[in-house]
Amino acid sequence: DAGVIQSPRHEVTEMGQEVTLRCKPISGHDYLFWYRQTMMRGLELLIYFNNNVPIDDSGMPEDRFSAKMPNASFSTLKIQPSEPRDSAVYFCASSKDSFRGEKLFFGSGTQLSVL
């Protein structure tokens, strides 16, 4: 399997612009997670989906952030408008199940820089 695929790998944008991050989970995985990593806050869960349905979006920082999963093989995380404090590495991860022993498989991450 190709693993979790994220694009772009790097994104540099100016404050106020719309940013869209993309993720393709591993085929057959029913759970998809979006995390954000910063030096100050570490790895934070933003939102996760089960069978394309958002289950918990309590980690989404504010209304500027939105996430969708239109089908089992694609998800997007959108920031509109972007701000410099959104600069971080955004990871997408997937897992087959939610059982306590089910590990997450991570994509390579998107390094976002908002100038």
Partner 1 sequence: AQKITQTQPGMFVQEKEAVTLDCTYDTSDPSYGLFWYKQPSSGEMIFLIYQGSYDQQNATEGRYSLNFQKARKSANLVISASQLGDSAMYFCAMREGRGGTALIFGKGTTLSVSS
What residue ranges bind partner 1 (CB under 8 A)? 31, 33, 35, 42-43, 45, 48, 50, 55-56, 89, 91, 93, 98-106, 108-109, 111
Both structure tokens of 96: 């087959």
Shortest gap between Cβ of 16 and partner 1 (angstroms)? 27
Distance of CA 17 to the CA centre of its chain: 18
For partner 1, the closer of residues 4 and 19 by Cβ is: 4
For partner 1, the closer of residues 15 and 43 by Cβ is: 43
| Number of C-beta neighbours around residue 46 at 10 A | 20
Is the Cβ–Cβ distance between 15 and 83 less than 8 Å? yes
